[in-house]
Amino acid sequence: MSRIAKHPIKIPAGVEVKLNGKKLVVKGKKGELSLDLVHDIAAEIKDGTLQLKPLSNARLAKDMWGTTASNFRNMLKGVTEGYSKRLLLEGVGFRAALKGKDLVLQIGFSHEVNYKTPQGIEIKVPKQTEVEIHGIDKQKVGQVSAEIYSMKPPEPYKGKGFRYEGQHVRRKEGKKK
């Protein structure tokens, strides 16, 4: 049984939640998100709260009960505050820039790498060695930052490549004579 989903989820002021059959739609000041409910989960909105309940004792229903509650809480935070991740680029000659809405990277290859920004995501480059990803969908922000990170993950000898802000890269000792 889920301890996360047992309690009703309070809907903050300024956020509008609609339930259309098995689809939850959350609208706030930053935008609108929707979530399709699993057929084993029921939702009920009353008195400014959302209550989720499993419709059966099946394992899928129990598993998805807490997951659905967490996804809904993430949607509430996304439409009110939004999500962001920051990537730092380290290495001689490595730099990032914006061309329109697309990200252009020089990361040690013989060519520039262009990354097309998906819809619903905003990318900022405050410095040549920093990339900020903003959006209202937590999953999409994480996916975009993981795709950019995977283009040049940090290598263990010199630490060149992308790293998340606050990430510690374990360094190896080089060859000895």
Which of these, 106, 82, 103, lies nearest to 92 by C-alpha position?
Answer: 106
Could you give all domains of the chain from N- to C-terminal order, each with its CATH number?
9-80 (3.90.930.12), 83-164 (3.90.930.12)
At 71, the pLDDT band (50, 70, 90 cuts) reads very high
Order of strands across the sheet that contains 16-20: 16-20, 23-27, 32-36
What pLDDT is recorded for position 36?
Answer: 94
Instruction: Please report the pLDDT score of residue 175 as a whole number.
Output: 85
User: What percent of the chain stands above pLDDT 90?
Assistant: 80
pLDDT tens for each residue of 89-135: 998 999 999 999 999 999 999 999 999 999 999 999 999 999 999 99
Residue 3 is predicted with a pLDDT of 80
Is residue 1 predicted with pLDDT exceeding 60? no
Q: What is the pLDDT of residues 25-38, one digit of tens each?
A: 999 999 999 999 99
